[in-house]
């Protein structure tokens, strides 16, 4: 007998604790759904408590009737509020809600009558009333059990486990009830009582974890999703090119992560950067409510609406918000969802900050391009005029020059040409960035291009350098924009001369092997430190060393060269030994000889062009 009592006491205590826990959870988060679940489980706790009290001190008369009424009302309310809890997430139709409400009312009347009046009626009537009470409870809880179980199939793992725990817990209680009612005399045996009490007790933690699962359990449930989540966060942090893109991905993931209906990101100015599954008006309402709140933590839930969690994003330019909203298939937001969202928010913050820096850099780059474009075009006009007058001066068309004038004219002319080349480089770079650069690929013998480029640099030789060119005997066919490739090679040769101030040979070698033609330009100049290599091919990238700082240049030559080479299926590489010299190599794909080109070759090159 003691064992029976102990089992009954323990179970009653378990349910009281469960009621208290839900009430506490509701107190913390104030959701409509949490509220309904709390009403249900607190009612159940009251039933468990009063029934136990009555058993212990065997009340009679009016006191017994009051306890009976409390027990019946509590019992039916616990069932009805499970249905209302379901309604908060998976809304019932207005019709169904009405029917449920009337059914609840009728059941309460039947329950009250059962206690007060029917005790005088016959056994059949009381039994019928008893059945009605139990049937009502089974319907109220049974329907949500099935719905939650069905809906749990398409939600993230933690949500799924929680919904199933709730379904399972209430199903356990139904099973015990049904067994108690239909079990007949078997139910009266002490062993059966202990067994049913212990099963009911076992349902307490099962139901508890459905609304407040401990971290470790959540971790176990989420294990399968962990890898996916890591990948998602990495994706967010590294691969999102713009703030918009990042915000969109981040809301998508927040939604999946929490199994939410909707998610949104609002920037510090209050603009909705991205939202999914929730309309703008609702977002503004949620955020507005959040801003009024004095606490720095979590936004609670709006009365009469689906639950929402909002967490701040601490950005450099102010506080933004990341939020998720619950919907029909996303019941059970709890404290762990809140923690999870906060953790996720810090990743999103980091991502947004990074993107902002990148965007700022991109804006600066764009300004540079605009400047390049403007300056180069504006300079070109006046310089053309200056060039005209200088050549007239040199040619004596503006009258005779005196001795000093005759010496100065070629210097001015050379400098004007240098400036002109510079402006052409700037214009070419601006075209490249605007996507306005048009290549004219034609069949060329690369030997001709290399020789022409070298010849164009010879006038710049100062006697300290010697250019040695080696080309194969047979033509090296390439299909390229000849002028552009000539510019690339002459720039390499000019650099080789410029960056070997002490003189020395410059070796230009052309070889063709394995379908690739390579033009290497080797000098014995200052060379380039390994750490400086990455900046060579960047726009305006120049290496600053005491030996080369005084040399004129824009830092555009190699940048343009590499871009132009790449546009034609080629590449420029560098190999350097600081203090001993450098070798720059232009690689270009070899084309079939122009006259023997097959139809297939033509098709291929047409394909290349369209790429």
Query: In this structure, what DSSP letter does residue 591 have?
Result: -
- Residue 141 · residue 82 · CB < 8 Å: yes
Range list of β-strands (E), 295-413: 308-315, 318-325
CB of 562 to ligand ADP, least distance (A): 9
List 205, 475, 505, 553, residue binding ligand ADP (CB under 6 A): 553
Of 390, 426, 422, whose CA–CA distance to 409 is shortest?
390
Q: Measure the CA–CA gap between 148 and 398, rounded to whole angstroms.
A: 97
CB of 581 to ligand ADP, least distance (A): 7
Kind and range of the H or E element at 470? strand 465-470
Least distance between ligand ADP and beta carbon 548 (Å): 5
Is the distance from CB of 39 to CB of 230 less than 8 angstroms? no
Contact status: 563 vs ligand ADP (CB under 6 A): no
Asked whether 303 and 329 are in contact (CB, 8 A), the reply is no
Tell which phi-psi region holds residue 122, choosing left (phi > 0), alpha (psi between -120 and 50) or beta: beta
Measure Cα distances from 226 to 229, 443, 496 in Å.
5, 56, 55
- Please give the DSSP secondary-structure letter assigned to residue 513: E
Binding of residue 558 to ligand ADP (CB under 6 A):
yes
379 with 363: CB under 8 angstroms? no
Asked if 554 is part of the footprint of ligand ADP (rule: CB under 6 A), the reply reads yes
User: Should residue 522 be labelled a site residue for ligand ADP when binding is judged by CB under 6 A?
Assistant: no
Residue 585 or 604 having the CB closest to ligand ADP: 585
Please state the closest distance from residue 509 (CB atom) to ligand ADP, in A: 15
| Least Å from the CB of residue 233 to ligand ADP | 39
Shortest distance (Å) from residue 538 CB to ligand ADP: 9
Q: How far apart are CA 420 and CA 386, in angstroms?
A: 10
Query: Could you say which of 142, 144, 557, 570 contacts ligand ADP (CB under 6 A)?
Result: 557
Question: Which residue, 267 or 433, is less far from ligand ADP as judged by CB?
Answer: 433
**Cβ nearer to ligand ADP, comparing 477 with 484:** 484
CA distances from 430 to 60, 99, 115, 367, 561 (A): 98, 73, 92, 11, 14
Gap between the Cα atoms of 392 and 541, Å rounded: 37
CB 206: neighbour CB atoms within 10 A?
Answer: 18
CB of 533 to ligand ADP, least distance (A): 9
Out of 339, 420, 548, 605, point to the residue binding ligand ADP (CB under 6 A): 548
CB of 558 to ligand ADP, least distance (A): 3
In angstroms, the Cα distances linking 504 to 353, 406, 462, 500, 595 are 51, 32, 11, 7, 41
Pairwise CA distance, residues 510 & 517, whole Å: 7
Q: Please tell me what DSSP assigns to residue 175.
A: H
Query: What residues form DSSP beta bridges with 576?
Result: 582
Tell the smallest beta-carbon distance from residue 530 to ligand ADP (Å): 13
Q: Which of 485, 542, 562, 586 binds ligand ADP (CB under 6 A)?
A: 542
Pairing of the two strands 581-589 and 516-522: antiparallel
Q: How far apart are CA 467 and CA 490, in angstroms?
A: 12
d(CA 178, CA 137): 11
Any contact of residue 555 with ligand ADP (CB under 6 A)? yes
Which residue lies nearer to ligand ADP by CB, 213 or 527?
527
**Stretch touching ligand ADP by CB under 6 A, among 67-75, 103-111, 216-224, 554-562:** 554-562
- Of 233 and 496, CB closest to ligand ADP: 496
CB 493 → ligand ADP: shortest distance, Å?
9
Choices 154-162, 221-229, 360-368, 546-554; region in contact with ligand ADP by CB under 6 A: 546-554
271 versus 544: smaller Cβ distance to ligand ADP: 544
Q: Is 543 in the site for ligand ADP (CB under 6 A)?
A: yes
User: Residue 577 forms beta bridges with which residues?
Assistant: 581
Shortest reach from residue 495's CB to ligand ADP, in Å? 3
Strand 504-513 to strand 465-470: parallel, antiparallel, or no bridges (unpaired)?
A: parallel
Decide: is 282 part of the binding site for ligand ADP (CB under 6 A): no
75 in contact with ligand ADP (CB under 6 A): no
Select 163 or 432, whichever has its Cβ closest to ligand ADP: 432
The answer to the question of residue 155 lying near ligand ADP (CB under 6 A) is no
* Beta strands, E only, 514-580: 516-522, 571-577
Q: Which is nearer to ligand ADP, 358 or 548 (CB)?
A: 548
Sites for ligand ADP among residues 482-521 (CB under 6 A): 491, 495-496, 499
Interface residue with ligand ADP among 218, 334, 523, 591 (CB under 6 A) is 523
Residue among 131 and 371 whose Cβ is closer to ligand ADP: 371
Residue with smaller CB distance to ligand ADP, 129 or 422: 422
Angstrom CA distances, 379 to 420, 491, 529, stand at 9, 22, 35
Q: How far is the CB of 491 from ligand ADP (least distance, A)?
A: 6
Q: Is 183 in the site for ligand ADP (CB under 6 A)?
A: no
Give yes or no for a contact between 539 and 368, defined as CB atoms under 8 angstroms apart. Answer: yes
User: Which residues form the interface with ligand ADP (CB under 6 A)?
Assistant: 491, 495-496, 499, 523, 525-528, 536, 541-543, 548, 553-559, 582
């Amino acid at each position: 007998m003691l064992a029976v009592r102990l089992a009954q006491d323990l179970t009653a205590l378990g349910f009281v604790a469960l009621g208290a826990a839900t009430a506490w959870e509701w107190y913390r988060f104030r959701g409509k759904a949490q509220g309904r679940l709390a009403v249900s489980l607190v009612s159940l706790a009251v039933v468990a408590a009063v029934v136990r009290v009555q058993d212990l001190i065997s009340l009679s008369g009016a006191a017994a009737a009051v306890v009976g009424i409390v027990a019946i009302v509590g019992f039916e309310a616990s069932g009805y509020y499970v249905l209302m809890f379901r309604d908060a997430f998976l809304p019932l139709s207005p019709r169904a809600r009405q029917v449920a409400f009337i059914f609840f009312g009728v059941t309460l009347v039947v329950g009250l009558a059962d206690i007060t009046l029917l005790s005088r009626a016959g056994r059949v009537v009381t039994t019928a009333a008893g059945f009605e009470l139990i049937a009502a409870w089974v319907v109220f809880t049974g329907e949500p059990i099935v719905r939650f179980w069905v809906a749990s199939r398409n939600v993230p793992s933690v949500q799924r486990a929680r919904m199933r725990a709730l379904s399972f817990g209430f199903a356990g209680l139904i099973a015990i009830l049904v067994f108690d009612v239909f079990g007949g005399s078997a139910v009266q045996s002490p062993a059966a009582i202990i067994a049913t009490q212990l099963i009911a007790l076992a349902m307490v933690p099962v139901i508890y974890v459905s609304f407040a699962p401990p971290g470790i359990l959540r971790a176990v449930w989420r294990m399968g999703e962990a890898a996916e989540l890591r990948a998602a966060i990495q994706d967010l942090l590294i691969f999102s090119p713009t703030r918009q893109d990042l915000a969109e991905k981040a809301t998508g993931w927040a939604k999946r992560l929490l199994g939410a209906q909707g998610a949104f990101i609002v920037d510090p100015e209050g603009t909705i950067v991205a939202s999914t599954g929730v309309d703008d008006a609702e977002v503004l309402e949620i955020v507005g409510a959040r801003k009024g709140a004095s606490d720095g933590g979590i936004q609670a839930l709006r009365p009469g609406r689906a639950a929402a969690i909002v967490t701040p994003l601490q950005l450099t330019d102010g506080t933004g918000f990341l939020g998720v909203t619950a919907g029909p298939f996303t019941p059970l937001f709890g404290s762990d969802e809140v923690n999870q969202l906060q953790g996720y928010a810090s990743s999103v913050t980091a991502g947004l900050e990074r993107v902002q820096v990148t965007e700022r850099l991109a804006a600066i780059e764009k300004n540079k391009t605009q400047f390049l474009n403007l300056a180069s075009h504006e300079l070109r006009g006046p310089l053309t005029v200056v060039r005209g007058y200088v050549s007239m001066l040199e040619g004596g068309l503006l009258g005779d020059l005196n001795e000093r004038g005759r010496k100065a004219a070629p210097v001015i002319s050379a400098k004007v040409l240098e400036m002109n080349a510079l402006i052409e480089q700037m214009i070419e770079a601006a075209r490249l960035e605007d996507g306005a650069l048009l290549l004219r690929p034609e069949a060329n013998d690369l030997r001709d291009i290399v020789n022409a480029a070298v010849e164009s640099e010879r006038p710049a030789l100062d006697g300290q350098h010697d250019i040695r060119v080696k080309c194969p005997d047979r033509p090296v066919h390439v299909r390229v924009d000849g002028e552009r490739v000539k510019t690339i090679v002459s720039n390499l040769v000019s650099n080789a001369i410029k960056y070997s101030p002490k003189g020395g040979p410059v070796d230009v070698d052309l070889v063709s092997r394995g379908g690739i033609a390579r033009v290497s330009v080797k000098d014995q100049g200052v060379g380039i430190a390994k750490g400086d290599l990455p900046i060579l091919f960047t726009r305006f990238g120049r290496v600053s060393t005491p030996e080369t700082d005084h040399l004129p240049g824009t830092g555009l030559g190699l940048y343009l060269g590499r871009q132009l080479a790449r546009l034609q299926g080629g590449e420029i590489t560098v190999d350097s030994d600081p203090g001993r010299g450098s070798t720059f190599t232009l690689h270009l794909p070899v084309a079939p000889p122009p006259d023997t080109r097959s139809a297939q070759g033509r098709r291929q090159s047409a394909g290349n062009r369209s790429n």
